[in-house]
Chains A and B, each alone.
Chain A
Amino acid sequence: MSIIDPIELPVPYSVDEINREFWKLCSTHILHFQQCKGCGHWRHLPRYMCSKCGSPDWHWAPSSGKGVIFSWTTVHQPMHPAFGGKTPYASIIVEMEEGVRIVSQAPDLPIEDLKLDIPVEVYFEARTEDVTLPFFRVIE
């Protein structure tokens, strides 16, 4: 059932235009989400239309990069072998100030300190030359 290369850490495998743009903007180290030009709604995952008002018009808007941990859990058996040495690690959903939710990790936060609703901010780490991923850390 392996869907990606079993040795390297996974990289994005969808390569349509808006996905490419999302990852490209991450490499600027400012998190961007799509914002609807019809109704102002922020959205994530990137898509070609607004599910609130149906508008096809949107632009990339910079996020404050701040949010709270909406929920968390730990992973003890990763699906991808490249994560095997890192278990257990936490998987989190962050609710951003703009209202969008994003699945990520807070690698520096010890599992025993994970709590819901604590404030976090984004930072970036390059996974490959072409791909930079957003991660989160606690705002002290």
Chain B
Amino acid sequence: MTNGTEGIRGAAAFVGAATDGIGEAPGFSGQELAIRASLKAMQDAGIRASDIDGVFGALSAESMCGVAVSEYLGIQPKYSNNNKIGGSTFLSLTHTAAMAIKNGLIETALIYYGSNQRSAFGRLAVSATHQSDYEGLYQPRFPMTSYALAASRHMHEYGTTREQLAEVAVAARQWAQLNPDAFMRDPLTIEDVMASRVISDPFSVRDCCLVTDGAGALIMTSAERAKDFRQKPVYLLGAAGEHWHKQISAMPDLTVTAASKSGPRAFEMAGLKPSDVDVIELYDAFTINTILFLEDLGFCPKGEGGRFVSDGHIAPSGGLPVNTNGGGLSCVHPGMYGIFTLIEGVQQLQGECAGRQIEDAKVALCHGSGGVLSSQVTNILGTEEVL
């Protein structure tokens, strides 16, 4: 069996990307925010609704969002897809869109997400799907509890410390301070993180992602057509996903995620290795995520993630730029964050990130996680120089 991916390296490129309503956007539904982001992405790409023939995305509050968003925007897509693997959905949809483009099924795809969960609920919208009946009876606070259980096991097996988890939150905040759109930009120290209100041991509230509104959208087209767009094309060079479990008690090893499979396959498709990556965007729902994914994606050995992020190594002044927009911890987290890893990756490779721009960035790794460390999807993006 092949991994079915040989053909799509560089077959499609992002030619537009935009966010909308990051932070607080009262007065809009999640769908309306997604529409606004989509219009901005179309404007960024210089195209109209009639140029789009594939629509891919998700909304928390609308199960038939494919038809709803298309109708609203006046798109009549030949192909639509809305999968249900959680916050990594968008990195899986780019994979599908690239295959559809490569096969000639469609020419140009819209990928979207939007949520008003901060304005609507004021807290993380935890759906009943996070709770199995058998587990919910004991009132774990999913999803936080699930990630805390993984952190607890990682600390036990590898000696990862509370301070090292806090380093992840501090690094994210320092990046957010360079991003005028980020929702939380106040200074944050390791001591602040550790002294904050405990949510689920070892996590304090500062180890947990934000609850914000926000929307994002991307435009993808064939590599051939991408050359004619006003934006510098950012090519999808590698894409791979894998998942092993839904509820946390079924995760085979709480310290190893399926990113250990999706990462190597995405790199293989891209013909690149971790040391080739200039900028890394990871789905940091909780501080342990960043540590687990840096290990599983091959940036450091298993168990070394805590030491790897120490001394500000992934902060703006450090050696490796990770979550340069401020991440889900400090920039934006409207229920599902995955699409924002892609938008930041694309904009970094287009050189549009102003004060937080990574100089001469040519390769970005974007990684999404869905459920409770469940579905893992990796995308590797590159500029024309690495095509």
Contacts and interface: CB of A to CB of B under 8 A. Distances in A.
Given A71-B150, A71-B156, A133-B137, 18 more contacts: A1-B125, A3-B136, A13-B133, A44-B249, A71-B149, A71-B152, A72-B149, A78-B141, A79-B139, A80-B139, A83-B139, A91-B140, A91-B141, A103-B134, A104-B138, A116-B152, A116-B156, A117-B156
B247 interface: yes
Interface of B: 121, 125-128, 131-141, 145, 148-153, 156, 197-203, 247-250, 254
A88 B145 CA distance: 12
A76 interface: yes
Given A70-B153, A73-B200, A78-B141, A19 B249 contact: no
B132 A91 contact: no
A77 B145 contact: no
Interface string A65-100: 000001111111111100100001101010000000
A73 B133 contact: no
A58 B200 CA distance: 37
A21 to B, nearest CB: 13
Given A12-B133, A45-B134, A101-B249, A71 B140 contact: no
Contacts of A71: 149-150, 152-153, 156, 254
Contacts of A91: 138-141, 145, 149, 200
**In which size bucket is the chain A interface?**
35 or more
Q: Which 7 A-B pairs have the closest CB atoms?
A: A73-B148, A91-B140, A74-B201, A103-B135, A71-B149, A116-B156, A101-B249
A30 interface: no
Contacts of B148: 73-74
Contacts of B150: 71
